[in-house]
Amino acid sequence: MHPGRRLFIQGSLALAALAAIPRGLLAMAWPEKAFGSAVASDAMTELFGTNQTTPSDAITLGAPEIAENGAVVPISIETTLTGVQSVSVVVEKNPRPLAVSFEIPPGTQPDVACRIKMGKTSQVMAVVKTENGLFSAAKEVKVTIGGCGG
C-alpha cells in the first residue's frame, strides 16, 4: 500500500477519535439567551420557562455577608431536596444576572461550590430545579470593591 495513504488514514482516524470525545460529552448546548439576559427574571424565564420559585429551607446557600473583593466571591449551594436536575446562581444586580448553572445528572450530589464575580452589593439567589419544580434561597452579599469592569 502507498505509505502516504496509510499515514492519511491513520491521521484521519486519530482526528475522528478526537472529534468524537467532546461531541459525546457536550450533550446539552450552552443556554446563550439566558446568559445574555440583563434582567434576573428574564434570565430565569429563558432558562427554566418560568421565573416563579418557591423559597425553601432545604437549600443551604453559603455566601459571605460582606465580600471585600467582588472579583472572587465564594458561593456554595447544598440541598436536601430530592430529584435535583440543576442548581443555578443568579446575582440580581450583575450586568448579566445568571452567573453559573450546574446540570446535575442522577447520582451526582446537589452540593456544589464555585467562585463568582459581583459588580456591587446584591441579592444572590440559588435556584434549584427539581422534578417537582423550582425552589430558591437568597442572601444579600455586600460588595466593597466591584469585580466587573475596571
Residues forming the site for another protein (CB under 8 A):
21-22, 24-28, 30-31, 35, 71-73, 91, 94-96, 98-105, 107-109, 111-118, 147-150
- Shortest distance in whole angstroms from residue 61 CB to another protein: 15
Give whichever of 1 and 29 is closer to another protein, judged by the CB atom: 29
Q: Is the dihedral of CA 150, 42, 132, 130 positive or negative?
A: negative
Beta bridge mates, 54: 135
- Contact status, residue 76 vs residue 115, Cβ threshold 8 Å: no
* C-alpha distance across the termini of the chain, in Å: 61
As given in the structure block, the three cell numbers for residue 119 are 459588580
As given in the structure block, the three cell numbers for residue 84 are 435535583
Give whichever of 34 and 137 is closer to another protein, judged by the CB atom: 34
- Shortest distance in whole angstroms from residue 100 CB to another protein: 5
- Shortest distance in whole angstroms from residue 110 CB to another protein: 9
Give whichever of 1 and 27 is closer to another protein, judged by the CB atom: 27
Specify the DSSP class assigned to residue 49: S
Give whichever of 39 and 114 is closer to another protein, judged by the CB atom: 114
In which element (H, E) is residue 141 found?
A: strand 133-143
- Contact status, residue 66 vs residue 136, Cβ threshold 8 Å: no
In which element (H, E) is residue 73 found?
A: strand 73-79
- Shortest distance in whole angstroms from residue 2 CB to another protein: 32
- Shortest distance in whole angstroms from residue 91 CB to another protein: 6
